[in-house]
Amino acid sequence: MNYNLALSDDILLSIEKPERYIGNEVNSITKDKKTVDIRFAMCFPDVYEIGMSHLGIQILYGMFNSFEDVWCERVYSPWLDMDEVLRKEDIPLFALESQDPVKDFDFLGFTLQYEMCYTNILQILDLSKIPLLAKDRTWDDPIVIGGGPCTYNPEPIADFFDIFYIGEGETRYREIFDYYKKCKTEGVSREDFLHACAKMPGIYVPGLYNVEYKEDGTIKSMLSIYDDIPKTIKKEMCLEISDVFYPTKPVVPYIKITQDRVVLEIMRGCIRGCRFCQAGQLYKPLREKDVEHLKELAIESLKNTGYEEISLSSLSSSDYTKLPELIDFLIKSCNERKVNISLPSLRIDAFSLDVMSKVQDVKKSSLTFAPEAGTQRMRDVINKGLTEEDILRGSHEAFLGGWNKVKLYFMLGLPTETDEDILGIGEIANKVAAEYFDTVPKEKRNGRTIDIVASTSFFVPKPFTPFQWAPMNTKEEFLEKANKTRKGIMSQLNQKHIKYNWHEADASMMEGVLARGDRKLCDVILKAYNKGCIFDAWGEYFKFDVWMDTFKECSVDPMFYTVRERADDEIFPWDILNCGVTKSFLLREWKNALAGNKSSNCRNGCLGCGAASYGVGVCFENKAN
């Protein structure tokens, strides 16, 4: 236990949830700083409750701390009340375990999970008194390194980072640490250290690449300033997924967090190939963990944490081959321990309904379908395998099983979308309601009725997807479409059983700019932060108007990044990276989308995306002999 907190009692008692800043949680790691060579501050740039829910940090935290010479600690974004106190009292931002200033660390790592956290990165650097721009840093500052999904287009934040680590974190950090130690003993310059890192697989040092633009603002070239570093950086990936480190002693918070449970990662990657989905492409190929190994991890983690709930994590759990065996095991052992099982991302069918009826209270829980689009044509464009028949059959069985709440998720603004697709949303919702009335006769309803919630989000095209070429809708178009959706639902026979929710269009537009942005945005983000933009992912703090003013001030047109149609051969800011799938494959899929052609999933037939180059996973299933 560390009794020396960075903040005095009266400060901690004057702010909301002091537990966010005191560390000392169960399973958190304290080491003697004199006995370690490397101090790593790992940051999730959002509030504690969100950041603590992230599995990736728990993995790297556990792995780094298993190294004797490394002490990894955690940092989260101070909430606005604490931000104010730190500035007013001039207290430098500190890491939770040692409560020491972040500036004194060797590394400051950020996990970049969503674009709307970018101003929070600047808050962390600023409060830590680390220069915001990488070019201004010296050996007195930590090496600032970024990882996670947003590093697959890191260009909008390239100026703020020394290093981006592209891919799964388990593979290269040991190498980086060893080299760092060597450089420190030998007195190598910071520049030379970064230059050498840039030669390591998966390591992108943005400062060592120059971007030139064409007159129309698109990229002419991105060239390295040294000949001995790679022209493109290929994603790092774990080849033996059952053997890699897994945190069975995750840090257990005192306060309730967003994911307050044991998280069991069952596989990485996805076979599905939905064309809007970035994760589906980034983490290819699908690699399953050994089921016996998972059983051990589950029991060990429950014992070490005392959590009363366990959840499976993957992009599509139904595709895990040994799912029935794993779930049987979990139901048995969790019942003994009075532990709840939560099962997200299951396809609704007879198997999953049976399982769900065993692990949850049917009357209270709801069914979730994600058709994503209102018509079969549109679903073919996005390559979403789910059909209307699937939804109605699944609903029918669920209604027989006692369920009466259904959630339906859709996207608006998908490429080629027409009014018919938009109106189709109301029609599907209506058919699900009708299915309920057909399935459950009046005398069996016991005063209950069908309760449907249809939600739409606005589609944001992402790098490394077939839709990376797609124009995004304007804010006005989005709102008009949401309005049409609402009217479409209102005109349905069963409309009073359907509730409709839609997202904010402003935030989606901003996300669209950042997702496919280039280095010209660094300046905009920096200025927006200086004008007070922070916690942009939190609707109540997102200052759209300030952002728009800043674009104007910087002479950057946000529409350039969103509504513009991109040519087939345009050089994208993220083309300097290689996530395993080839650009030619993505273009082929884009053309298939526009033609309304579906593609098979990885198990039904290989599409030759390029991910097989890693030599593992689903690409080689059934090919072993």
Chain CA centroid to CA 542, Å: 19
Q: How far is the CB of 401 from other proteins (least distance, A)?
A: 16
Judged by CB, which is closer to other proteins: 24, or 242? 24
| CA quadruple 25, 80, 547, 471: dihedral sign | positive
Q: How far is the CB of 306 from other proteins (least distance, A)?
A: 3
Q: How far is the CB of 560 from other proteins (least distance, A)?
A: 48
Quickly count: other Cβ atoms within 10 Å of residue 405's Cβ: 17
Q: How far is the CB of 30 from other proteins (least distance, A)?
A: 10
Q: How far is the CB of 297 from other proteins (least distance, A)?
A: 16
Task: Determine phi and psi for 99, rounding to 5 degrees.
Answer: 65, 20
Judged by CB, which is closer to other proteins: 47, or 411? 47
Euclidean distance between CA atoms 520 and 514, whole angstroms: 11
CA separation, residue 351 to residues 274, 347, 430, 525 (Å): 23, 9, 25, 48
Judged by CB, which is closer to other proteins: 25, or 265? 25
Quickly count: other Cβ atoms within 10 Å of residue 608's Cβ: 13
CA-angle at 140, arms to 137 and 141, nearest 5°: 55
Partners of residue 499 on adjacent β-strands: 453
Length reported for the chain: 625
Amino acid at 476: E
Quickly count: other Cβ atoms within 10 Å of residue 387's Cβ: 13
Q: How far is the CB of 267 from other proteins (least distance, A)?
A: 27
Judged by CB, which is closer to other proteins: 305, or 395? 305
Decide the pairing of beta strands 367-372 and 340-342: unpaired
Judged by CB, which is closer to other proteins: 171, or 360? 360
The two tokens of residue 486 are 């609402």
Judged by CB, which is closer to other proteins: 78, or 206? 78
Give DSSP secondary structure letters for 95-164. Answer: -TTT--BGGGSSEEEEE---GGGHHHHHHHHHHHT--SSGGG--TTSPEEEEESGGGGS-GGGGGG-SEE
* Burial of 274: CB neighbours in 10 Å, binned 0-12, 13-18, 19+: buried
Q: How far is the CB of 448 from other proteins (least distance, A)?
A: 17
| Angle between helix 419-439 and 475-490 (nearest 10) | 30
The two tokens of residue 599 are 């593609």
Amino acid at 270: C
Q: How far is the CB of 355 from other proteins (least distance, A)?
A: 16
Euclidean distance between CA atoms 545 and 538, whole angstroms: 15
**Three-class SS of 574-614:** HHHEECCCCHHHHHHHHHHHHCCCCCCCCCCCCCCCCHHHH
The percent of the chain in helix, strand and coil, each rounded to the nearest 5, is 45, 15, 40
Q: How far is the CB of 384 from other proteins (least distance, A)?
A: 34
| Angle between helix 388-400 and 350-359 (nearest 10) | 40
Judged by CB, which is closer to other proteins: 26, or 490? 26
Partners of residue 70 on adjacent β-strands: 38
Judged by CB, which is closer to other proteins: 304, or 474? 304
Sequence-ordered list of residues with C-beta below 8 angstroms from that of 421, at least 6 positions apart, any chain: 373, 374, 375, 377, 378, 414
Judged by CB, which is closer to other proteins: 9, or 540? 9
Q: Say whether 458 sits in a helix, a strand or coil.
A: strand
The closest alpha carbon to 258, from 334, 326, 311, belongs to 311
Judged by CB, which is closer to other proteins: 13, or 624? 13
Judged by CB, which is closer to other proteins: 19, or 570? 19
Judged by CB, which is closer to other proteins: 1, or 624? 1
Decide the pairing of beta strands 219-224 and 209-213: antiparallel
Judged by CB, which is closer to other proteins: 78, or 109? 78
Q: How far is the CB of 254 from other proteins (least distance, A)?
A: 5
Please report, as ranges, the residues that interact with other proteins according to CB under 8 A: 1-3, 5, 8-10, 12-14, 18-19, 22-24, 26, 252, 254-256, 302-308, 337-338, 340, 361
Q: How far is the CB of 210 from other proteins (least distance, A)?
A: 48
Quickly count: other Cβ atoms within 10 Å of residue 62's Cβ: 19
Q: How far is the CB of 93 from other proteins (least distance, A)?
A: 18
Q: How far is the CB of 17 from other proteins (least distance, A)?
A: 9
DSSP state of 72: E
Q: How far is the CB of 335 from other proteins (least distance, A)?
A: 10
Judged by CB, which is closer to other proteins: 354, or 420? 354
Decide the pairing of beta strands 233-234 and 287-288: unpaired
